[in-house]
Copies of this chain bind each other. A is one copy, B any other.
Amino acid sequence: METRELRYFVAVAEELHFGRAAHRLGMAQPPLSRAISQLERRLGVDLLHRSSRSVALTEAGAVLLREGRAALDAVAAAERRTRRASENPGLVLVSKAGAAGELLPKMLDAYAAEPGAVPVEVVLCGAGQQEALLRDGRADVALLHLPFDSTAGLDTEELSTESQVLVMPAGHELSTRSSLRMSDLADVPWPRWPELDGTYAPGPGPEVHDATQLLQLISLGRAVTVLPESIRTSLHEGLTTVPVLDAPLVTTVIAWPPHSRSLALAGLIQAATRI
């Protein structure tokens, strides 16, 4: 199967419309129709139920859509990483903006001090995007925070585990407590983070899209939230924290695509786990 065929099929399967898919692919509709039927004939599998009015996926077609997307991602990642490897011998590390605390600089310093260390470019992105960046080859390695991020399909090493604290303005009614439980926070509206598609789920809390914005909202008394305790080192005045005893523990892991353990990456991982 050629990637061209996969691209064609994925386009048709997503649009469920040969005309639109052909337009998206920058080609005419008839060759696209032919390409898909050839693919079906070569696989010996019906991928689409067609009537002259509508197109629908068969069971097998749904499988090929899922698997084909992953395969196309893998090909794109191969190309991107190859290009990056030639123009820049370094690594690209991705982390959530504002979430890395002191671990990240320590790790980078420790790695930079090693013989044979390569430059590490740090990319900060929104929550939930790290996986996509790793999968399609724009990044080599990521810092993830369990249990929030998923490590599906990645190799990982645990770096640290920490408890969580409630972050609030200094004058907040809960700021005098020495510790809290989740039940104390039952009726607090949580800030809402964007979904993968960039939209927000409905709810009472304020919409936020990065940690800076969140901390500013907290300063203004418009929000409170529970964050890993390492956030305390980067809080400005006017904010205070109280431990939340039964909040889930947050584990920071370093994660990378399983097949891509280059020498440089192995060094960085090793440096990270030694901290």
Interface residues of A (CB under 8 A from B): 1-4, 6, 43-47, 58-64, 66-71, 73-75, 77-79, 81-83, 85-87, 89, 137, 152-155, 257-260, 262
Give the top 7 A-B pairs by smallest Cβ distance, nearest first: A153-B258, A67-B78, A152-B258, A60-B86, A71-B74, A45-B86, A63-B85
Chain B: minimal CB distance from A22 (Å): 19
Contacting pair B68 A153 (CB below 8 A): no
Q: List 15 A-B contacts (CB under 8 A).
A: A1-B78, A1-B79, A2-B2, A6-B75, A45-B87, A60-B85, A60-B86, A61-B82, A63-B82, A63-B85, A63-B262, A64-B78, A66-B260, A74-B75, A153-B257
Chain B: minimal CB distance from A66 (Å): 6
Closest to A261 in B: B66
A85 surroundings in chain B (CB, below 8 A)? 45, 59-60, 62-64
A78–B10 CA distance with the chains assembled, in angstroms: 12
Contacting pair B59 A86 (CB below 8 A): yes
A82 surroundings in chain B (CB, below 8 A)? 43, 45, 47, 60-61, 63-64, 67
Most chain B beta-carbon contacts within 10 A, residue among A47, A79, A155, A262: A79
Contacting pair B260 A67 (CB below 8 A): yes
A69 surroundings in chain B (CB, below 8 A)? 259
A259–B135 CA distance with the chains assembled, in angstroms: 11
A85–B69 CA distance with the chains assembled, in angstroms: 16
Known: A85-B63, A259-B69. A78 touches B152 (CB 8 A): no
A75–B7 CA distance with the chains assembled, in angstroms: 12
Chain B: minimal CB distance from A122 (Å): 20
Closest to A58 in B: B86
Chain B: minimal CB distance from A91 (Å): 12
A67–B59 CA distance with the chains assembled, in angstroms: 29
A89–B86 CA distance with the chains assembled, in angstroms: 44
A72–B81 CA distance with the chains assembled, in angstroms: 15
A137–B1 CA distance with the chains assembled, in angstroms: 14
A154 surroundings in chain B (CB, below 8 A)? 153
A260 surroundings in chain B (CB, below 8 A)? 66-67, 70
A237–B46 CA distance with the chains assembled, in angstroms: 53
Contacting pair B1 A2 (CB below 8 A): no
Closest to A77 in B: B67
Since A45-B87, A59-B86, A153-B259 are in contact, a sample of 14 more A-B pairs with Cβ atoms closer than 8 Å, ordered by chain A residue number, is A45-B83, A60-B83, A62-B85, A63-B85, A63-B262, A64-B78, A64-B82, A64-B85, A67-B81, A67-B137, A70-B74, A73-B74, A152-B258, A153-B257
